[in-house]
Structure 1
Amino acid sequence: MQTIMPDIADTAEALQTGTLDWVGMGNIELPLLFSSKGLSDITVTAKADAFVNLQNEQAKGIHMSRLFLSLDTLSCEQTLTPSTLKAVLESFVTSHQDLSNAAKVALHFELPLRRSSLLSGKQGWKNYPVTITASLIDNQFLLEIAVDVTYSSTCPCSAALARQLIQQAFTEQFAKQQLNFEQIHNWLGSTEGIVATPHSQRSIANIKVKLACDSQEFDILALINCVEHELKTPVQAAVKREDEQEFARLNGQNLMFCEDAARKLKALFEVSNYQDYYIKINHYESLHAHDAVAYAVKGLPQGYQA
């Protein structure tokens, strides 16, 4: 005779009644086969947060194992796409009939991409932190991608101050001399000629974009590429001397405060096809102990807030 095991979520009374916005699990380890336009399908190791709401005021709780098993099916039998993610959310809700009518999942992982060097033609791996968040609320499917893009930012103020010091050093060295091209050329290539350099710092652009609810595929590569192309100075993977020199040139030709970086990306996303966007610029200062930060959003009434 089979013993019927008790289901406390269905049978026990809640200690206190009331609805809850989200109930579920966080940091579920989950290998996933990720599919995105322009990339071969790739296995990523994700951490998943999975939730449903609890609209039944009298219910003790939800069935967390049902959320876990839906995600496990996605992991073992399917490829991560907008449609499979929507199906997971629908299974969350149908498996919680009379308890829940909304679901949400967030998948956090690092996406490894092969990136080419600036000049030498070498390639190397770079990992990009990615979060895909999807929700199903009132039968409306919402989908967003967040990615962190790391780049170098060189301070325009320190660049101007460095140029002034170089001018002063030039005056002190050659004020009373009749100069020729070779003297100036040699001086500029010496340590005496470059008496000061501007400071630069590793910086990160945190980007979130909302996709159309009928999106058929992810296109994370295009999102990363357009951000890096706009900023001009993404952190490199494989680097030879010619690549390092080109990186120095790009930094010198693209001086920017955090405000400059935020405005560049705001202008970029204003003409994009994304439903909404959120930008946070973090310049991790080498001069100060604090960071320089700027935000920009599309400004929709019910959209992202800075």
Structure 2
Amino acid sequence: MNALTLPDIAVQSSHQSISLDWVGMCGIVLPILLEGQRVNARVDAGVSLDDCEARGIHMSRLYLALEMLEQEGLSPALMRRVLDNFLASHGGLANSAFLKIHSNLLIKRPALVSQLAGWKGYPVSIEAQVTNDVFHVELKIEVLYSSTCPCSAALARQLIQQQFIGDFADQPLQHADLLTWLGSTKGIVATPHSQRSTAQLQLRLHDYVDNLPLIAIINDTEAALGTAVQTAVKRADEQAFALANGQNLMFCEDAARRMNSALKRSPEIQAFHVRMVHAESLHAHDAVAETSHRWSRP
């Protein structure tokens, strides 16, 4: 039997005249160029099946089209070419094409004070879609930071005040005694609680954007929050981190408002939805706040 006679079941008519929103493959392993670095990615590729009579799509054609992603840096223009290839290879079958790329962007970060540095990983997803020649790109990014509870800080300060009154109520206050007291565990009887927290960003880019501003958005996020988690540190860096937390007390609501203001200043972002998750150290549950700007599903 030669190749011309091999059966192609997919071209047979469907037993039911029903169109499908999405048909394709998920979790395809692929190396891509992202922000100048070669990274491992998992790719979801699909098209709509608008021909109600067609039984299936040509998945191998989608798979082969993904080779384009290996050849140059990832950009909206490249993703558009891949999606156009999806549609061209499914003429008469599909009106929409979809591409999702999931990876981990590595950025080397310096310590706050010392000369140390280390790598941080940022989970990112880049999603592109074209429907009836309308194209858009969305980014999903996760950024870790520390959050110190303002309420807990106020309660800790009150306990320190009470301890101060108890220790110095019946004696004259001497400068040296005060310094000794402040540096002792007796004086600092309580500390506020803090927790590792996550900014989950969903961003829709303007149509005119020709790059993927992942690092710029990550930098803006960490600057807005002020307490990005660290990599390699010395004691001076840890002290600087404690200072940053003390100067950036925030509930999840505060963090969400900070991100709303920061993202509105980005010229590349058309719309966004943000979810701030504080993995509470006081409770067994998370504290969560969400905010959005011009966000709606197309």
When normalised by structure 2's length, the TM-score is 0.96
Cα deviation per residue 1:221-257 (whole Å; 9 max; x = unaligned)? Answer: 1100001000000001121110000000010111000
- Counterpart in 2 of 1:17? 17
Question: 1:298·1:304 contact (CA, 8 Å) conserved in 2?
Answer: no
Cross-structure match for 2:245? 251
Matched residue, 1:27: 27
Residue 130 in 1 paired to residue 129 in 2? no
Superposed displacement of residue 82, structure 1:
1.6
Q: Residue 212 of structure 1: CA displacement?
A: 1.8
Asked if the contact 1:297–1:304 (Cα under 8 Å) also holds between the matched residues in 2, the reply is: no
Q: Specify the alignment match of 2:193 in structure 1.
A: 199
Q: How do 1:1-306 residues align onto structure 2 when only pairs under 5 Å count?
A: 2-4=2-4, 5-10=6-11, 12-34=12-34, 36=35, 41-75=36-70, 77-273=71-267, 274-300=269-295, 303=296
Does structure 2 retain, via aligned residues, the 8 Å contact 1:277–1:304? no
Q: How many residues align?
A: 296
Q: 1: distance between equivalents of 2:294 and 2:85?
A: 33
Distance 1:181 1:242 in 2: 25
**Superposition deviation, residue 98 in structure 1:** 1.0
**SS in structure 1 at match of 2:196:** strand
**Amino acid in structure 1 at the alignment position of 2:53:** Q
| Maintained 8 Å contact 1:154/1:200 | yes
Q: Structure 2: how far apart are the matches of 1:263 and 1:74? A: 36
Structure 2 gap segments, 5+ residues each: none
Gaps in structure 1 of 5+ consecutive residues: none
Deviates more, 1:210-219 or 1:200-209: 210-219
Q: Percent identity?
A: 48
Cα RMSD between the aligned structures? Answer: 1.4
CA displacement, residues 91-128 of structure 1 (integer Å, 9 cap, x when unaligned): 00000011101101110000000111111122110000
Shift of 1:61: 0.6
Q: 2:284 is matched by which residue type in structure 1?
A: A
The whole-number CA distance in structure 2 between the counterparts of 1:3 and 1:163 is 80
